[in-house]
Amino acid sequence: MNDKPQLTLVGSGLAGPLLAIELKKRGYGVRLFERRPDMRKVKISAGRSINLALSTRGIHALRAAGVWDEMRRIIIPMRGRMMHAVSGELSFMPYGKDESEVINSISRAELNIALMNAAEARGVTIEFDQRCTAYDARTATVHLRDEETGNERVLESEVVIGTDGSASAIRLALQTTLPRFNLSQQYLNYGYKELTIPAGPDGKHQMETRALHIWPRGSYMLIALPNIDGTFGCILFLPFEGKDSFAELDSDVKIRRFFEESFPDALRLMPGLVENYKANPVGAMVTIKCAPWHIEGKALALGDAAHAIVPFFGQGLNAAFEDVTVLLEMLDRSSHASKTGSGGALTFRWERLFAEFEAARKVNTDAIADLALENFVEMRDKVADPRFLLRKKVELALEAKYPGHFVPKYAMVTFHRLPYAVALARGRVQDRMLGELCDGIERVEDLDWKRADALIRRELTPLGELQSA
């Protein structure tokens, strides 16, 4: 039984400060420990230029925490994908049915800084250079090492939440403490590298600003997302080894030649490509599924610490923020129940909260992990295929005719807050349906509406009212 215990959060990345803001608002004492130095004072290169696509689920969580207005200044809405053929020909595919359905480019570093500023402004203290090296559930202690001095300390804490990302120390503690801990960790044989397209001489973007640019090349791809300073943050995805891989690009000449052959129009905008390429490391991408996410009511893993996914649906951050939404809704409900229950004391049980949270979330985070893996093939390969483009048009036509019944998979995940597991299940049914309806037609005008009508009535129940941000 707890009466507003002091909470310890490990990891001040994206979910950590957001959760801290929400807990502080509810009167909890919150200590936040981060292993890196303070990025507002020290330049951290890796991960600095990465942009993330922020969408409905993430925006909803930011709005609920009262910090969305502070974030609006640092986002650029992207209306769709701009595909770049090798010839330089451009084609644009909108993400949604209209201008209200956009995803938002935001620099990871800027978002991290804005969240930490907002957390501190609301009274949260963040201690930097503090690496959690272990968590001991028996003694309910967090072990911390100061990365600057090497000093170690042990901190007692009734409740610890690990928001420490995909290499989580708190998840490792769950693994080593719990007798039947399930863990699956699946690395892609692809890596990624951050690159930059600088601003033009006028300080403006050198390509269409309100789009996510993609150079899909079958087995690999380059993407670029706009930054508010006129630059584009690019990510190159290649296999680690084999043909057209990072291993192959082992000299300046090979790097340049590869870009000349694969991405000639991007190369023209990247005068510093070779230096930029060599300065940045190759990152790995992993899907992590695990259970349980908590040790009794003492420690919980949340965000990437509990469920890291590959980045191809642009949902890792959004899912981590949705974790915060769900945990807080449950916390509020249980606080209310215990306040209004017999005795009137604030006596909800953290163990039950953590168990309910995991039960509600895991099925959904497993689903988005699978959707993200599937979307990799779509992004690097299918978006260049005319049959795929036709399917996208048919999807939009079906959505317009059957709103609330047929919602494209991308929209269910990105523009609504439907549980991810529902999006996955309905998406599979809709994929089959689209396969049937698009078979043998060349244009959306040739769609057999009678058949579509019958299929939709037979296979899809109404979705009811859809929630957005």
Ligand X SMILES: Cc1cc2nc3c(=O)[nH]c(=O)nc-3n(C[C@H](O)[C@H](O)[C@H](O)COP(=O)(O)OP(=O)(O)OC[C@H]3O[C@@H](n4cnc5c(N)ncnc54)[C@H](O)[C@@H]3O)c2cc1C
The three-state DSSP-derived secondary structure of 94-107 is ECCCCCCCCEEEEE
Which residue number, 163 or 430, has a Cβ lying nearer to ligand X? Answer: 163
**Residue 165 binding ligand X, by CB under 6 A:** yes
CA-closest candidate to residue 252, choices 233, 232, 272: 272
Among 52, 234, 295, 300, binds ligand X (CB under 6 A): 52
**Residue 48 binding ligand X, by CB under 6 A:** no
CA-closest candidate to residue 456, choices 418, 405, 399, 414: 405
Rounded least distance, CB 152 to ligand X, Å: 13
Among 25, 36, 143, 349, binds ligand X (CB under 6 A): 36
Binding window for ligand X (CB under 6 A); candidates: 80-88, 163-171, 216-224, 406-414:
163-171
Matching residue, tokens 């060599």:
278
**Residue 131 binding ligand X, by CB under 6 A:** yes
Rounded least distance, CB 49 to ligand X, Å: 10
Torsion angle in degrees (nearest 10) through CA of 15, 18, 21, 23: -50
**Residue 235 binding ligand X, by CB under 6 A:** yes
β-pair partners for 295: 299
Among 303, 408, 419, 427, binds ligand X (CB under 6 A): 303
CA-closest candidate to residue 300, choices 317, 323, 319: 323
Which residue number, 188 or 199, has a Cβ lying nearer to ligand X? Answer: 188
**Residue 191 binding ligand X, by CB under 6 A:** no
The footprint of ligand X on this chain (CB under 6 A) covers a number of residues equal to: 34
Q: Minimal CB distance to ligand X: which residue? A: 13
The three-state DSSP-derived secondary structure of 402-429 is CCCCCCCHHHHHHCCCCCHHHHHHHHHH
Among 7, 8, 9, 13, binds ligand X (CB under 6 A): 13
Site string for ligand X, 237-276 (x = CB under 6 A): ----------------------------------------
Among 9, 15, 62, 269, binds ligand X (CB under 6 A): 15
**Residue 22 binding ligand X, by CB under 6 A:** no
Three-state SS at 291: strand
**Residue 35 binding ligand X, by CB under 6 A:** yes
Q: Which helix (H) or strand (E) holds 457?
A: helix 449-459
Query: Residues with Cβ < 8 Å from 433, sequence gap 6 or more?
Result: 452, 455, 456, 459
Count of C-beta atoms within a 10 Å radius of residue 432: 12
Site string for ligand X, 387-426 (x = CB under 6 A): ----------------------------------------
Is 378 exposed, middle or buried (CB count within 10 Å of its CB: 0-12, 13-18, 19+)?
middle
Q: Provide the binding-site residues for ligand X, judged by CB under 6 A.
A: 10-16, 33-36, 50, 52-53, 131-132, 163-165, 167, 169, 192, 235, 283, 303-305, 311, 314-318, 320
